[in-house]
Every structure is written in structure tokens, then in C-alpha cells.
Amino acid sequence: MMKKPRIVLDSSLPYLRGLVEEVAEVTYLESRAFSPETIRGADALLIRSVVRCDEALLSGSSVRMIATATAGYDHIDTDYCAEHGIMWRNAPGCNAGGVVQYVLSSLSAWSLDRGIDLRGMTIGIIGVGHVGGELLERIGALGLRPLLYDPPRADREGAEGFSSLEEVLRESDILTLHVPLTREGKYPTVGMVDEPLLRACQRRPLLINACRGGVAPSAPLLRALDEGWIREVIIDCWEGEPQISADLARRAYIATPHVAGWTADGKWRGSRMALAAVCGALGLDEPQWLWDDSLLPRPIEPRIRLRDYPEAERVRRAQLRTCDPRETTALLRAHPEAFESLRRGYIYPREASAYTLLDPEAGDREALSLLGFRVV
């Protein structure tokens, strides 16, 4: 019998125990326990973003494949891997549904708390990749008009359908950021949300950062709030994590510890995509139940009776039943120094597809289906 390959797996990755053992010998390690000694003899690593895969970890190892169960991969030294014949894969789009859920829930809460009618407002989506693209597909459920800014895509695909940054800043009532963190190239995003950009906003928009903290540093945001260039901020990704600006946390309408993409569904997708990539790279058959989602936890109340809410609020109230960032905001505002522990203790919500809506009005059915709910 052929010897099974050895996989070293981050023990914090959910929904994989019992599956990996079907195809490999498995060692589970805590994220901080990965070292040259603990991965010795490994053929593959299954990780998340806490594990830095570079020369310090990989030199002299037998690792042939690295798979991260995250969309981002800046914790993998891809140049080193290329030079040493190490394959790697990320899980693009695995968290897109979670980030979109966070944005839609935050907007629903904001509009209800502030008495703002979102219908007809303009939202500028900066970055139209996996997350921005899925947000674009769903944002109509809240009656918002999108403007799209993504110059790399416009260069590749043509300018039709995309707006200039000047138009987005002039017209948007809401700005939401969904770009990768890049330092080089034609369109670097590090520090792109600076004072000149914020000063150019014409409609005092609500600004949302659910991509990377380095895209929107704290000092310009605080200045923009002081000067009235922007109305409010919703922040999930922070400059200098986990040492975040306590002042910005107190002043943000929503302040959460980098958990926007953390849904049970997204974690399940990321873990599965990473294991599938390892199986493909090592020539292994995928485990029989790899894509069975029956192990995902059920919501405490998976059926939502819409008639319990005022008619004009039902779509937004349903959205908030999937995820309400205000609960975590209260904790982070009170204890910004507890960023890491709040993140570790975060309970993954389910996405809208796990919920069934009862008694929807005919006029709400399309919007609720667009948000991903089961509608009966």
C-alpha cells in the first residue's frame, strides 16, 4: 500500500477533522506553533493567515504544497515558493458572501438607527473583485444605485460600466472599500484613502472599510470626521491591527475586529477549497463528503416571520437577523485593547441561505431572494 502523504494542518480551521484523515497522515498545530521543527517531514501545509510561510519556516523542509483557507495570501512568500518549486493556492472568494453580508447588515442597521431611507442613494464600490462583484449583485435589494471604481479591471475590460474616482467621490452617499492591499504597480492601494481623497468627497458619505486596514489609515479618517468631509465610518479592518485607534473605535458607527468575512459558510468554503487544492496537487482523491454542508450549524431561529416587523422595515430587519455588527461594536468600543480576544471569541453567523422567510409581501420577494434567503 502506498504511504499516505503527511499534512500539517492549522487546528483552528473548522469542519476538516475526520476528512483529512481519509487521504493523509495529519498533524494538527495551533497557528503559533508552526516552526521548522514542527513541520519537518510534511508534504503539505493547510493554514490560515496567521501562519507566515517564508524562508524562515520552509528552508530545508519537504513541503511541496501550501494551501491557505483564506482569500488573501500575503502571508505566503510566493517568490520563495516559486524559486523552490513549492506550489501554493489560496481560496479566492471564499469569504465574499460573509463580507457582503456584513456590509448589507451594517447598512440596514445604519439606516434604521439614523432614520435614513437608503432607496435612491448612491453607493460607490471601490474594488469590484470577488467581494465587490457580489455586493454589486445584491445591493439593489436595498434600493441603492451603484457606481463602480476599479481601474485595473477598466484597463483590462474597457471603461464601460466603470466610473472615474472623481465621479465616485462627487456622487456617492456611501463609499465601500473592497480592494487588495498592494504597495507596487500602477494602482497601489496602501494609504489610498488619504486626506486629499476624503476632502474631495462632495456628499459627506458614510465610509466602509471591510478590506484591509492599510488602505484607510486612522489619522485621515479622524481628520475627515473632525472636518465633516465624511458623515460616519464603519470599520472592520484597521491600521496597525491588533493595536487599533481607540479614538476611531469610539467614533465609528460600527467597529468590529476584522471579522467581516467570518461566517460559518465562508469558513466551510475556505477549508474545503484548501483541502481540495492539496488533494489536487498531491494526486489524491478528494474525501467522499468534502462538499457536504450538513455539518454546518443551524441558526438558533432559522425561520423568520416577517409580519413581526413593520412593513417598510422587513427587508432590512431580515438582513439583520443573519448578522448584527452592533453587538460586537459595543464590546470593541469598550475594550479596544481586547481586539485579538474578541476576534478569537467571535461566533460565526450563518449566511442568508440558512434562513427561511415566512409570509413575505409580494413586493419584497425579489429583494429577499436577491439577498440569498429562502422565501416561502
Number of separate domains in the chain: 3
Same domain, 102 and 248: yes
- Cβ atoms 367, 315 nearer than 8 A: yes
At CB < 8 A and 24+ separation, what contacts does 58-67 make? 58/84, 58/86, 60/36, 61/36, 63/39, 64/281, 64/282, 65/89, 65/277, 65/278, 65/281, 65/282, 67/91, 67/273, 67/274, 67/275, 67/277, 67/278, 67/281
Q: What is the pLDDT of residue 1?
A: 52
Same domain, 101 and 90: no
Crossing angle of helices 264-282/96-114, nearest 10°?
Answer: 170
Enter the pTM of the model: 0.92
Residue corresponding to grid cell 465562508? 266
Is residue 34's pLDDT more than 70? yes
Question: Is 137 tagged catalytic?
Answer: no
Same domain, 209 and 221: yes
- The active-site residue out of 48, 89, 153, 212 is 212
Confidence of residue 49 (pLDDT cuts 50, 70, 90): confident
Same domain, 199 and 100: yes
Q: Is residue 340, in this structure, part of any structural domain at all? A: no
Model confidence over 55-83: pLDDT tens digits?
999 999 999 999 999 988 989 999 999 99
d(CA 338, CA 161): 42
Same domain, 11 and 56: yes
- Residue 10 is inside which H or E element, if any? strand 6-10
Interval 234-254 mean pLDDT: 97
Q: Is residue 121, in this structure, part of any structural domain at all? A: yes
- The active-site residue out of 171, 195, 232, 241 is 241
Task: Name the residue among 178, 51, 297, 265 with its Cα closest to residue 273.
Answer: 265
Model confidence over 135-186: pLDDT tens digits?
999 999 999 999 999 999 999 999 999 999 999 999 999 999 999 999 999 9
Same domain, 247 and 303: no
Same domain, 196 and 120: yes
Q: Is residue 1, in this structure, part of any structural domain at all? A: no
Cα–Cα distances in Å, from 94 out to 222, 272, 278? 32, 9, 16
Model confidence over 91-126: pLDDT tens digits?
999 999 999 999 999 999 999 999 999 999 999 999
Residues facing residue 175 across a β-bridge:
124, 207
- The active-site residue out of 138, 153, 231, 258 is 258
d(CA 205, CA 196): 15
- Cβ atoms 119, 215 nearer than 8 A: no
Same domain, 83 and 62: yes
Q: Is residue 339, in this structure, part of any structural domain at all? A: no
Model confidence over 246-262: pLDDT tens digits?
999 999 999 999 999 99
Q: What is the pLDDT of residue 72?
A: 85
Q: What letter does residue 319 receive in the DSSP assignment?
A: H
Task: Name the residue among 134, 111, 106, 123 with its Cα closest to residue 259.
Answer: 106
CATH number at residue 60: 3.40.50.720
Same domain, 272 and 301: no
Question: Is 241 tagged catalytic?
Answer: yes
Which range marks the domain in which residue 81 is found? 6-94+264-294
- Cβ atoms 357, 340 nearer than 8 A: no
Same domain, 102 and 217: yes
C-alpha grid cell, residue 24: 493523509
